[in-house]
Chain A
Amino acid sequence: MEILKVENLSVKRDENFIFKNINFSLQSDEKLFITGPNGAGKTTFIETIMGFIKPETGKLFFKGKEVKTEENLYNLRISAGYIFQNPDDQLFSPTVEEDIAFGLLNIGKKRSEIPEIIEQTLDILGINYLKNRLTYKLSGGEKRLVSIASVLSMNPDCLIMDEPTIGVDEKKLKLLLRFLKETNKAILMITHDKDVIEELKWPVLRLENGKLFNVYP
């Protein structure tokens, strides 16, 4: 099943096209990398998919339905788990537990179900010991894993990750890679990390000069 699809997507900034007429789709069992030089528009591409940037041209489809209304956009945002480049942007609640609960309460989960969901999510990532810690006192790698947990707990249809391996030490990277290998969610990941690309061996797309093209396989 096709989760995300964009047709002829173009975004302009200051009269110049950042990318033009991009066609892209993400299947429910697909895991992809997007690479490209700095400033190529990778984050802009993702932010356009998430509806934060209005495209010049193009259509966006989520689960086969065109995203047109605010309600469509709301559903897209809570179902396509976007993990930001800087985890400090994502972790705003006092404790890890409360931060994970934030999204769950917003999407209307019952309070009685939330503690179990939090436990399960932290278990998946192997970071249960962080549950009661203050978010602003976590290390870079811990923040990264918690930011993934905060999105993962909402059971999104896919994960959209913007350079998730930045600032992650070896130990936390192992946890992250284990999760990425084991999860059955669709993933679209921006990265520059060649070791991660080699380790995971997912198809690689490259965004350069305003065009998106296949590099591997």
Chain B
Amino acid sequence: METKLSDGNSLLHTLDARVKVAVCTLFAFTCALSSSLSFLTLTGVFLLFFTIVYLKNKLKDIAYSLLFADSFLFFIVLTTAITYNKGEIIKLGFIPIYIEGVKYGAFLFFKSNIILLTVIVFMSTSTIFEIAHALHHLKVPSKLVQMLFFTFRYLEVIKGEYNRLLKAATARGFKPKTDLRTYKTYAYIVANLLIRSYIRADRIYKAMLCRGFKGEFPVYKHFKLKKEDIRFATISFTFLVAAFLWSLVWKF
């Protein structure tokens, strides 16, 4: 399915999804495992370069995506700041703030943002179908790929059903409040969605069987590796190694 970011024709959009998934996984894992601020900073600069050069029309959307995720990450910083239980303390009224906790929380916040930016830059520039197709080629278990593919394919249909159920409730005078009846109504809607999704899944499976499905989802159009894909993969990999080596010299 398309997203705001997957729609475009920049270099990042035209790259082979397999390469993007591989590079993204490599970057995300290395960043997640790294505890070097200099390595993360360099990676951040590299990603910002791609963002500014190739996704300059989408900066607003990228910022919104990051801010949305950051609204959750903020609570992680807050939790580490007050529960770190080690080092110097500043008292804010009766609440203890651990300086080391703030530093650690800020580090996690920074690291998470770098990983998020990695995913945005490399993955969001492909449609979900391209990603599923790429995962299939990268030998991710077929069942997992099919689950991912069908989840996204039918998300729109389930959303439509949810909206219809909600409209039907509203048409009969339902006004959401913060009371038990509202929660009960929403629970009925969700339960209905689950049942309908199950029934639909069963019908889709039957439709697949009627068209010769034997457990393997055949792919009609295959990717073709281009020179740009190889160049991009080489540059990304070389950068990652260089950044790692540099982080050993330039420690902070």
Interface residues of A (CB under 8 A from B): 47, 50, 52, 74, 77-78, 81-82, 84, 86, 88-90, 92-94, 97-98, 101-103, 105-107, 114, 134, 136, 150-151, 154
Contacts and interface: CB of A to CB of B under 8 A. Distances in A.
Contact of B209 (A77, A92, A102): A77
Interface in B153-210: 153, 156-157, 200, 203-204, 206-210
A74 B212 contact: yes
Contacts of A84: 203, 206-207
A89 B204 contact: yes
Contacts of B2: 134
B214 A106 contact: yes
A136 B3 CA distance: 14
A50 B157 contact: no
Contacts of B208: 92
A145 B150 CA distance: 22
A101 B220 CA distance: 6
Contacts of A150: 211
B156 A136 contact: yes
Interface residues of B, number: 23
B212 A154 contact: yes
B139 interface: no
Given A92-B153, A136-B1, A103 B206 contact: no
Interface of B: 1-2, 127, 129, 150, 153, 156-157, 200, 203-204, 206-214, 218, 220-221
Contacts, number: 66
Contacts of A101: 218, 220
The 10 closest A-B pairs by CB, nearest first: A106-B212, A105-B218, A103-B211, A101-B220, A94-B129, A89-B203, A90-B207, A82-B210, A78-B212, A98-B220
Nearest to B149: A92
Given A84-B207, A101-B218, A107-B212, 5 more contacts: A84-B206, A89-B204, A94-B153, A106-B212, A154-B212
B156 A92 contact: no
A136 B221 contact: no
Contact of A154 (B203, B211, B218, B221): B211
Name the residue in A90, A97, A101 with the highest tally of chain B Cβ atoms < 10 Å from its Cβ: A90
A136 B157 contact: yes
23 contacts: A50-B210, A52-B206, A74-B212, A77-B209, A77-B210, A78-B210, A78-B211, A81-B210, A82-B210, A84-B203, A84-B206, A89-B207, A92-B204, A93-B220, A94-B153, A98-B221, A102-B211, A102-B218, A103-B211, A105-B220, A106-B214, A134-B2, A136-B1
Contacts of A134: 2
Name the residue in B150, B156, B207, B208 with the highest tally of chain A Cβ atoms < 10 Å from its Cβ: B207
